[in-house]
Chain A
Amino acid sequence: GENVEQHPSTLSVQEGDSAVIKCTYSDSASNYFPWYKQELGKGPQLIIDIRSNVGEKKDQRIAVTLNKTAKHFSLHITETQPEDSAVYFCAANTGGFKTIFGAGTRLFVKA
């Protein structure tokens, strides 16, 4: 079955710097890759997603890139702010209502 690996597990950056979180997946049939942000004590919130027919997608300070050949995708956050501090999860959907999540990255943005 599908396996999603996420790195790093913890990331600390200075306010205003960029943050990059990387994920790899194993199933070449995966076709949908969402990213979620989870704040303490809350449920995850979808922040951006990308489908397999697209290589890059941007939404203000957030961008996601997908390399289907290498089976990896990345989340890029520019001009980080303290409110970006949270746990971020990548995920991969292989169809059949199965979405596999990475283990999460805890991002700290230092003011």
Chain B
Amino acid sequence: DGGITQSPKYLFRKEGQNVTLSCEQNLNHDAMYWYRQDPGQGLRLIYYSQIVNDFQKGDIAEGYSVSREKKESFPLTVTSAQKNPTAFYLCASSPGDAYGYTFGSGTRLTVV
């Protein structure tokens, strides 16, 4: 079955640590996205990529970094510069602009 796989499902980060969230899709979608979800605030865009080897900052990119070396993969690194990283992180993909997204099942990151 085609879809998006996010791993791990739960992740714990110590202060000062960088952590990387994995996102893999087998839908052959060109575009991929990372969103952050906090309670009562909907989804906020962190980064997006329209095509391999290209990505753009979203509304809340500070403290995050991404790469898009393969069409199928779009990992997100939460750096130590992100002061409030505890959140639910969602990866999504779409065939192009102005199409519905297919979301992964999310990664819940907690700072300990």
Contact A42 B106 (CB under 8 A): yes
Tell me whether A46 and B100 are in contact in the complex, defined as CB-CB below 8 angstroms, given that A89-B43, A97-B31, A98-B45 are known contacts: yes
Contact A103 B40 (CB under 8 A): yes
In whole angstroms, how far apart are the Cα atoms of A49 and B99 in the complex?
9
Among residues 5 to 49 in chain B, which have CB atoms less than 8 Å away from a CB atom of chain A? Answer: 6, 31, 33, 35, 40-45, 48
Contact A103 B41 (CB under 8 A): yes
Q: Chain A nearest CB: distance from B34 CB in Å? A: 12
- The size class of the interface chain B forms with chain A is 20 to 34
Contact B104 A43 (CB under 8 A): yes
Residues of chain B lying within 8 A (CB to CB) of residue A102: 42
Contact B43 A95 (CB under 8 A): no
Tell me whether A97 and B97 are in contact in the complex, defined as CB-CB below 8 angstroms, given that A89-B43, A102-B42, A103-B41 are known contacts: yes
Q: Is the interface of B mostly helix, strand, loop or mixed?
A: strand
Residues of chain B lying within 8 A (CB to CB) of residue A31: 98
In whole angstroms, how far apart are the Cα atoms of A25 and B110 in the complex?
33
Among residues 81 to 112 in chain B, which have CB atoms less than 8 Å away from a CB atom of chain A? Answer: 90, 92, 97-106
Residues of chain B lying within 8 A (CB to CB) of residue A32: 98-99
Q: Which residues of B contact A (CB under 8 A)?
A: 4, 6, 31, 33, 35, 40-45, 48, 50, 56, 90, 92, 97-106
